[in-house]
Amino acid sequence: MTEREWRGEREVVLERDERTCRRCGTAATEDPNGLRLYPVGDVPRSGTVHESALVAVCTPCFASLRSEPDGSALPDDEALFSLVRETTERQGVTVSAVAAFASLATKLPGELAAATADSDPVSIPDTGYVRARREVLLAIDSVDSRLDHLYAIETDALDPNLADPLAEFAGTGTKLQSELRGIVALGECIAAGLGRCHGCFGELEADVDRCGTCDLERRDVADWRSADGSVDFEGLFDAINETLQAASGTTEALTDRTTSVAEQLRGG
C-alpha cells in the first residue's frame, strides 16, 4: 500500500498534541523518526486534511494502524494470544473513550445554549468535543487494525477447538466495534443538530452541504427531527444510553470469549 504523508497544519497538530503519541504516549524526543500525523474520520482522499481530523502518533503506532495483514504466516500460540489480548485491551480503551465522548456530546445542547445567552455570540465553547471525537476515532481504528489481523488468520489450519472460540472472539469484537461506531455517529448528530460541524464544531450556515472550515460533509439529522422541525435531542440521548448499555453487555461477552481462547491455547 502507498503510505502518504498527510499534509496539513503539522506544527499546529504537534503542539496541540503536546508532541506525544496519542495512541501510546511516546514523546517525540523518544521517536527517532519523529511523530507522524494520522487522519481520523472521513477525510478527503487528496489535498489538505484539517488539523481537527489529524492526530500525532509515533512511527511504530502509525505502522501498526496502517499495516495490512499478509495472512500467509500462521502465528504461533504465543503470537496469537498476544494479538487477542491486545485487541481486548485496545477495545477496553475504546469503550472508555466512547463513554467520555458520549458524556461530552450529550452536554453540548445545554452548554451551547448557555454560551449563546452570553454576551459574545462569536465564541465557540471549547467543550472538548472535538478532541474526544478524535481520540475515539483513533481508538476505534486501533482495534480495527487488530481485528483485520485476526480475520486474516487461516483458521482452516488451526485446531477446530481453537478456531471456533477465535472466530467467536472476532465476531464479538466486531459487534462491539459497530455499537461503538453507532454511539459516535449519534454524538455527531447532536453537534450537527446544533448547526455545528460534527468534526471541527465550526458553525454551519443553514444552506451549505460542507463545512467551510474542515470540508467535512454535513451530517444528516433528518431522522432525528420532530414534526415541528426541531431536533429530538432527548431521543438522541436515549439512543446513546441504550447503545452504551448494549456495548457494556458485549464487552462482558468479549471477556468470556477471551477466556475461552486463552484456555484453548494453554490447554493445547
Nearer Cβ to Zn ion, position 26 or 258? 26
User: Quick check: 64 binds Zn ion (CB under 5 A)?
Assistant: no
**Is residue 198 at the binding interface for Zn ion, with CB under 5 A as the rule?**
no
Residue 77, number of CB atoms within 10 A of its CB = 12
Residue 211 contacts Zn ion per CB under 5 A: yes
Helix and strand element counts for the chain (H, E): 6, 2
Q: Which of 266, 212, 257, 254 is nearest to 90 (CA)?
A: 254
Quote the CA–CA distance of 177 and 167 in Å, as a whole number.
15
Please select the residue that binds Zn ion; options are 127, 202, 235, 253, rule is CB under 5 A: 202
Instruction: Please name the helix (run of DSSP H) or strand (run of DSSP E) that holds residue 36, with its range, or none.
Output: strand 36-39
- 125 lines the binding site for Zn ion (CB under 5 A): no
Distance CA 104, CA 132 (A): 8
Q: Contacting Zn ion (CB under 5 A), which of 49, 200, 236, 247?
A: 200
- CA torsion sign for 232, 235, 241, 242 is negative
Contact 19, 56 (CB under 8 A): yes
Any contact of residue 261 with Zn ion (CB under 5 A)?
Answer: no
Stretch that binds Zn ion, among 93-101, 154-162, 184-192, 212-220 (CB under 5 A): 212-220
102 binds Zn ion, rule: CB under 5 A:
no
CB of 102 or CB of 216, closer to Zn ion: 216
Interface map 156-195 toward Zn ion (x if CB under 5 A): ----------------------------------------
Contact by Cβ (8 Å): 268, 91 = no
By CB under 5 A, residue 214 contacts Zn ion:
yes
Near Zn ion in 17-46, by CB under 5 A? 21, 23-24, 26
Q: Which of 100, 95, 99, 102 is nearest to 236 (CA)?
A: 102
Which residues of the shown chain bind Zn ion in the complex (CB under 5 A)? 21, 23-24, 26, 58, 61, 197, 199-200, 202, 211, 213-214, 216
